[in-house]
Amino acid sequence: MSQLRAAPHDFNLFQAISLLERSEPARARVGRGIGANEALRLAAQVGMAFAPSDIASLDESARPGPPLTLRTPALSLAGAQGPLAAAFTELLLARRRARDGAGLDFLDIFNQRLIGFWYRARCKHHLPLQGIASPAPLPHSLDALSGLGLAEGAHGPGGELAWLRHAGLQGAAPRSLASLLALLRDRLGVQFEGQQFVGGWHPLAVSDRARLQGLGGGHLAQRLGGGGSLGARAWDQCAGIALGAPALAHERFAELLPGGRQCGLLAWLVARHLQRDMKVTLELKLATSPKSRLGARQADALAPRLGRSAWLCGRAAPGRRECEYQAARFVLPAPGS
């Protein structure tokens, strides 16, 4: 609100109306009252010159009713783009120069209603203007079609909810790795990369394992490649996927490690998107090599964890090869574990 009051020209007209409307929750919404009881007074900026911005001014109102008055040249009965004749506009401008604004105030009665209806129509098809608790059917329909889980109360480990703007990414079936990466990059702000078809072994049940038996055993003969397999496990090329991130700062690196603030959210987002039991491996790298010392206090936010944020290496000496730090690689925990 302070930025809007200081520089209203930097805001979009509908964005400004939405912010000002939410700042007065006790008043009627714009376009739904009788004008005097609405959250904002809307007036037209009449002139024959080109308007450089959607908002001409935002000032305190000295009249009873809404506390603020927003003037806009975007929609006006008079003016260069208005339906009234240019001669009538010139007459109104001449009266304004003579400090007689009765004619313009009379037109603002209609401008208030026209701009309010325009804003209501914009809100109907523009979700960010509808607010958080909007009764409009479109958000509920998107939630149901994409499986975001907002209506059913699905939330992450820290109470996080799915974002409605990701409904397009989660509406397709089957869901792709590209849509998962787009979701994670937008939600967490990390440019993740992914690899699909990372195979893995699955244990076989005892009843599914091939074994030698007599003809009178009562079991159907098992043939290799036709229902029978050697060993106690089977290879699945679609068992999992691998995610990787670019070199991260210590704070972001610690947040994505198991037990970190973002690790649980990441696992929840991946599980909600995949909707199947799949092994997901995450590989993280540090932008700068850590310098951990036993018994020394760590100045940064990255606590030493052997194999993930701390490594054993020899003392640096001339002629000795530098220590190579292995990237932290682990399987994302199941949500709720």
| Average pLDDT rounded to a whole number, residues 262-284 | 91
Question: What's the confidence (pLDDT) of residue 50?
Answer: 86
pLDDT in tens, 320-330: 676 777 788 99
Q: What is the pTM of this model?
A: 0.58
Question: What's the confidence (pLDDT) of residue 152?
Answer: 80
E strand or H helix at 180, and its extent?
helix 177-188
* Cα(19)–Cα(37) distance, integer angstroms: 17
Assess whether pLDDT exceeds 50 at residue 215.
no
For residues 41 and 61, the answer to whether their CB atoms sit within 8 Å is yes
| Average pLDDT rounded to a whole number, residues 160-171 | 86
* Cα(213)–Cα(287) distance, integer angstroms: 59
pLDDT in tens, 62-92: 888 888 999 999 999 998 888 999 999 999 9
Question: What's the confidence (pLDDT) of residue 44?
Answer: 92
Question: What's the confidence (pLDDT) of residue 218?
Answer: 46
Assess whether pLDDT exceeds 70 at residue 282.
yes
- Residue 196's pLDDT band, with cuts at 50, 70 and 90, is very high
pLDDT in tens, 172-184: 777 899 999 999 9
CB atoms inside a 10 Å sphere around CB 160: 14
- Residue 135's pLDDT band, with cuts at 50, 70 and 90, is low
Percent of the chain with pLDDT over 90: 35
Ranges of beta strands (E only) in the chain are 41-44, 57-60, 68-72, 193-203, 233-244, 279-284, 328-331
